[in-house]
Chains A and B, each alone.
Chain A
């Protein structure tokens, strides 16, 4: 079995664990945490898709990476895919922003009803 399959499998399992948390938990704080677990799983999945065993991180810091030193072309077969890594960098930052926003909503909701149980917030306005 390939090591990449372990990464991808773990990532998808994390997504399932997180979705399970969102669907089954009643505590809003735990639902926010579960969404964060989904996000971590998706990030790991993207990194896993771009990963190829035996290749190095996409940082060209050795002359041995070059295919042609004069033309400055790099032998891409030595490096893992840099695109998913850039996407995940973006996703982590956006995830931080959404988590902060969700947590401040949780603070507000708790201040209103003194409870974190999602069933107490059934009405559209409170």
Chain B
């Protein structure tokens, strides 16, 4: 009975959605999008307009977003915390193939991640994407060296310092140029389409990249070290 109702509700929803399709697929940009596209270069001189929006025009939102990511990592750590009497994580040693592969690849993955977030204002990509790439490298390392503990102190420091740096850049903008996370007037905007351009945007995106990389690495480490559920406590 419940399933029939659910399917019925889905059919009604499908009917409503069908009316939305022509409405949502109208060509052309919104007024705000048009403003950002037209004046984005003059305002920030960053080639990637999406980065300009995420880091500058809506920089405060991104600060909130980074906080949400931090809170979710904290929540996962709280939910999966080791209780009294739960068995310790007992790893199976990794195969030599994985070990050698991880040794070979970890450096280049780290480099690719850094490249992606350093060039966030020029090419597709940025702090979140580069941080995820770095975390994937750390995942490889965790899987290859299961007997070694990841330094949570180092990650926590990296994470909090980069978060602090983000807020600090915002405050510098408030003091120097009169608005939180201001770009114009804080640093020279540089030449369009060069690495050293777009003022504070690359600095903020590098900090975001480090923060996201550290957070996601912590997340992966917590989840992998969770003991098998057979020994779960009550």
Contact = CB atoms under 8 A, between A and B. Distances in A.
Q: Do A and B bind each other?
A: yes
Majority DSSP secondary structure for residues of A touching B: helix
Majority DSSP secondary structure for residues of B touching A: helix
Contact of B68 (A2, A81, A94): A94
A83 B36 contact: yes
Interface of A: 2, 4-5, 7-9, 12, 15-16, 19-20, 23-24, 45, 48-50, 52-53, 57-61, 66-67, 71-76, 79-86, 89-90, 92-94, 96-98, 100-101, 103-105, 107-108, 110-112, 114
Contact of B33 (A2, A71, A83): A83
A108 B79 contact: yes
B6 to A, nearest CB: 4
5 contacts: A8-B24, A8-B25, A49-B24, A81-B34, A82-B49
B37 A58 contact: yes
B128 A89 contact: yes
B61 interface: yes
**Closest 5 A-B residue pairs measured CB to CB?**
A111-B232, A97-B72, A81-B33, A4-B25, A76-B37
Contacts of B223: 100, 103-104, 107
A111 B233 contact: yes
